[in-house]
Structure 1
Amino acid sequence: MTQTADKAGAPADTDVLHKLSFLDRFLPVWIIVAMGAGLLLGSVIPGLQGVLDAVKIGQVSLPIALGLLLMMYPVLAKVRYDKLDTVTKDKRTMVLSLVLNWILGPALMFALAWLMLPDLPEYRTGLIIVGLARCIAMVIIWNDLACGDREAAAVLVALNSVFQVIMFGVLGWFYLDLLPGWLGLDTTNVDFSPWEIALSVVIFLGIPLAAGYLSRRIGERSKGRDWYEGEFLPKIGPIALYGLLFTIVILFALQGDNITSRPLDVARIALPLLVYFAIMWIGGYLLGKASGLSYERTTTLAFTAAGNNFELAIAVAIGVFGVTSGQALAGVVGPLIEVPVLVALVYVSLWLRKRWTAKAPAE
C-alpha cells in the first residue's frame, strides 16, 4: 500500500475502496459467505464437534488451533519490530496511544457491554475481550488510506503487539473478575480462570509473535527488506484471511441452531461495537488535535485507537470458553462491523485533511 499524499500536502485520491486489495475490499462479503457455509456444514454434518474434538491442544481442537495460529502469523510478520525504540522520540504520541488503547478503550467497551448487554453475559464477556485486544493488523491499511504517518503506525503496532503479551491476561482478570466485583455486578453466569486467558494469549499471540519476529529478522538478513516486504509478505498475507474464514465456518457450523434461533442477538452485539468505533475514533482525533499533533500523527492515533485485534479476541474466546460459546460469536461479529465502519471513517479523515489547520510539531 503506498501513501497517496506528497510532501507538499496535495489532496489525496479519495477512491479508497479501489486501493484495497481484492480480498480486503470484500472482507465483509467473505465473512458473510463463511457464516452461510458454516450453517450449511453444520446441518449436513451434525456430528462435526465430535470429529473436531478428537485431537486437542489444551481445550481447543487441533484443526481450530492451527487455523487460529495461521490467522495471527501473517499479521505479526508485517510488524516493523526495529522501529519500536523510536517511539520514545515522540512522547506525546506514545502517551496518548497508551492512554487510548490500554485505559480508555477497554474501559469504554466494558461500560458499553454492561449497559447494552446486561442480560447476555456470554456476549458481554466476548465484547470485553474484544476491547482488550488492541489493533495490530488492519490499522496499517486504514492509516495508509487516510494518509496517516506510516512510521508512527508501525511503531504503535509494534508497541501494541508486545504490550498485549504482557498485559492482556492482567487486564482480562481486572475487567472480567475484579472490577465487576468492586461494582457489585453479577458475574455468576460466566465462569473462567484468568490463567486460561493468559495461557491462550501466550499460545495464540506469543507463538505467532515469535514466528513473525524471526521471519522478519531472518528474511531481511538473508534477502533484504525489499524482498521481504515486496515478495514474502504479499505471499503470506492472504493466509490470515483464510485462517479467519476457516474459524468462522467452524464456529457457525457448531453454533448454527443458536444463531438461526436468535438473529436479534447478532444485532445487539453489533450496536455497542458501532458506538465503540465512533467514540474511540472521534476521541483519538480530538486528543491529537488538542495536543497539537499533525494531521498525519492524529490520524494514526485515531485509527490505532478505533481498531481491534479480532483475531486475538476470537482465539482467546475459543481457547477459554470454547468454539460454541457466545464469547466466540461476539468476536466473529466484530470484523463484520469494523471493516465497513473504518472504511467510512477513512473517507471522513480525508475530508478532514482538506480542512486541517494545525501545523505539524517540530520533529
Structure 2
Amino acid sequence: MSLFERYLTLWVGLAIIAGIALGHLLPQMFEVIGTLEIAKVNLPVAVLIWLMIIPMLMKIDFAAIRQVGQHWRGMGITLFSNWAVKPFSMAVLGWIFIGWLFAPLLPQDQIDSYIAGLILLGAAPCTAMVFVWSNLTRGDAPFTLTQVALNDAVMVLAFAPIVALLLGVSSIIVPWDTLLISVALFIVVPVIAAQMLRKALGSGDGRALARFQEQIQPLSIGALLLTVVLLFAFQGSQILAQPLVIALLAVPILLQTVFIFGFAYILNRITGEAHCIAGPSALIGASNFFELAVATAISLFGFNSGAALATVVGVLIEVPVMLALVAVVNRSKGWYEASRAVSARTATEGQT
C-alpha cells in the first residue's frame, strides 16, 4: 500500500473541509455543476465513479465468474442482510431516534418526512461504490461484480414493495429512469470499458496490463477524493445552515451502517466464508445507492423536503464511514481467519 493510500482517511477529511468551503464560497459554480445530470444522476460524479471503478473492473477475468457459485453462502448473506434486514432495521432506528429521542430538537412538521428519507436509504443498497470498498479490502473481484448484478436485479423487484410497506402508502412512484440509467452508467458502461481495455492490454505476457493498472491506480484514488469534494460542495450551504439537524440525522444512519456491516461480516465468519468474500458481502449493504434514494425522495416529497435532506445526509457521511469499515475489515483479517469454520473451509479447499 502506497503512502498516499495509507493516509487516505486524512485526505478524505481534507476533501470534506475543502468541499464545504468551496460550496460556501462558490455556490453558483457548484449549482451549475449540480444541474449537469440525467434523471437525477449527476454526470460529473458519474465520470469520477468510472475513473474509480474501471481500474478495479479490469482485474476481473470473466472466466473466473464460473467459480463464484462456490461462495453461495456469501451471496445468500448479502441478499438476506440487504433485503430481509436492512430496510426494516433502518425504519426501526428512524422511529426510535428521529420519531422519539431527537423529536424535541427537530422541526415537528418534518419528522415523518425525515423518517421516510431514512427508509428510502435503507431500501437502496450500494451499486457502484462497493467496487471501491471491495478493492481496498482485497475483495474477490468476480464475486463483487456478481453480487452487485444480483443485488440490482432484486432491487428492480423489491425496492417499491418494501418502501410502500414501510411508508404505509398504497403505491410508490419509482424513478425508473434513475434506476435504469444508474445501472447502465455505473455497471454496464464501466464493465464493457474495463473488459475492452483488459483485452487490448492483456495480450502477450500481461506486463502491459499490469503496468497500466499500476499507473492508473493513483487516478482512481484521486477520483474518489474529487467525488467527496463535489458531494460536500453541492450541500455546503445546507451543512452550514442546519448543522444540528444534519448531525441528528447522521446518528441513525451511522448506527445502521455499522449494524448491517457487523451483521453480515460476522455471519460470513460463522458460515466459514473466505475473508475476501466477507468484505464485499458486508460492505455492499452498509453502503447505499444514494442516487436512487435521493431521486425517490424528491419525486415523492419534493426537493426541499425533510426526506430529501435525510437522503443527502446519507450521501455526506458515506465515504468517511465506509473508509472506517474498510479499515476494520483489513485490520481484523487475522481474527476473522482464526475462526474454526473459516480454517476448516480453507483446509478443505486446499485439499481439493
Answer whether TM exceeds 0.5 for this pair: yes
Structure 2 CA distance for aligned equivalents of residues 352 and 215 of structure 1:
35
Structure 2 CA distance for aligned equivalents of residues 50 and 348 of structure 1:
41
Structure 2 CA distance for aligned equivalents of residues 68 and 321 of structure 1:
22
CA 1:127–1:79: 2 relative to 1, 3 Å: farther
Pairwise CA distance, 1:355: 6.5
The residue aligned with 1:358 is 344
The residue aligned with 1:17 is none
Pairwise CA distance, 1:272: 0.8
Ranges in structure 1 where 5+ consecutive residues have no aligned partner: 1-19, 145-152, 289-296
The residue aligned with 2:186 is 204
Deviation track 1:53-94 (CA, whole Å, cap 9, x = no partner) reads 565445445433322332332232222323112335x3xx2x
Structure 2 CA distance for aligned equivalents of residues 27 and 190 of structure 1:
39
> Superposition pairs for residues 17-166 of structure 1, below 5 Å?
20-52=1-33, 55-88=36-69, 90=70, 93=71, 95-118=72-95, 119-130=114-125, 135-143=130-138, 153-161=140-148, 163-164=149-150
Aligned to 1:178, which of 145, 156, 161? Answer: 161
Cα contact 2:16–2:232 (8 A) shared by 1: yes
The residue aligned with 1:194 is 176
**Does the residue aligned with 2:162 lie in a helix, a strand or coil?**
helix
The residue aligned with 1:239 is 219
Cα contact 1:67–1:243 (8 A) shared by 2: yes
> Which stretch of structure 1 is more off in the superposition, 34-43 or 186-195?
186-195
The residue aligned with 1:277 is 261
Cα contact 1:70–1:239 (8 A) shared by 2: yes
> Which stretch of structure 1 is more off in the superposition, 236-245 or 271-280?
236-245
Aligned to 1:218, which of 179, 184, 200? Answer: 200
Pairwise CA distance, 1:248: 2.0
Cα contact 1:133–1:309 (8 A) shared by 2: no
Pairwise CA distance, 1:188: 9.1
Structure 1 CA distance for aligned equivalents of residues 282 and 236 of structure 2:
30
Aligned to 1:250, which of 201, 224, 230? Answer: 230
Cα contact 1:313–1:331 (8 A) shared by 2: no
Structure 2 CA distance for aligned equivalents of residues 241 and 259 of structure 1:
25
Q: Please give the root-mean-square deviation of Cα atoms over the aligned residues, in Å.
A: 3.3
CA 1:265–1:126: 2 relative to 1, 3 Å: same
Pairwise CA distance, 1:143: 4.2
Aligned to 2:324, which of 325, 340, 344? Answer: 340
**Does the residue aligned with 1:78 lie in a helix, a strand or coil?**
coil
Amino acid at match of 1:125: L
CA 1:283–1:254: 2 relative to 1, 3 Å: same
Pairwise CA distance, 1:312: 8.1
Cα contact 1:35–1:248 (8 A) shared by 2: yes
Ranges in structure 2 where 5+ consecutive residues have no aligned partner: 96-113
Structure 1 CA distance for aligned equivalents of residues 42 and 326 of structure 2:
33
Amino acid at match of 2:143: L
CA 1:203–1:134: 2 relative to 1, 3 Å: closer
- Tell me the TM-score normalized by structure 1: 0.74
Pairwise CA distance, 1:325: 5.7
Pairwise CA distance, 1:352: 4.8
Pairwise CA distance, 1:241: 2.5
Cα contact 2:134–2:279 (8 A) shared by 1: yes
Structure 2 CA distance for aligned equivalents of residues 246 and 314 of structure 1:
17
**Does the residue aligned with 1:129 lie in a helix, a strand or coil?**
coil
Structure 2 CA distance for aligned equivalents of residues 321 and 206 of structure 1:
25
CA 1:267–1:28: 2 relative to 1, 3 Å: farther
CA 1:311–1:319: 2 relative to 1, 3 Å: farther
Pairwise CA distance, 1:178: 0.8
Structure with a larger share of its residues in helix: 2
CA 1:26–1:180: 2 relative to 1, 3 Å: same
Pairwise CA distance, 1:120: 3.0
Structure 2 CA distance for aligned equivalents of residues 279 and 168 of structure 1:
21
The residue aligned with 1:292 is none
Cα contact 1:142–1:342 (8 A) shared by 2: yes
Cα contact 2:24–2:237 (8 A) shared by 1: no
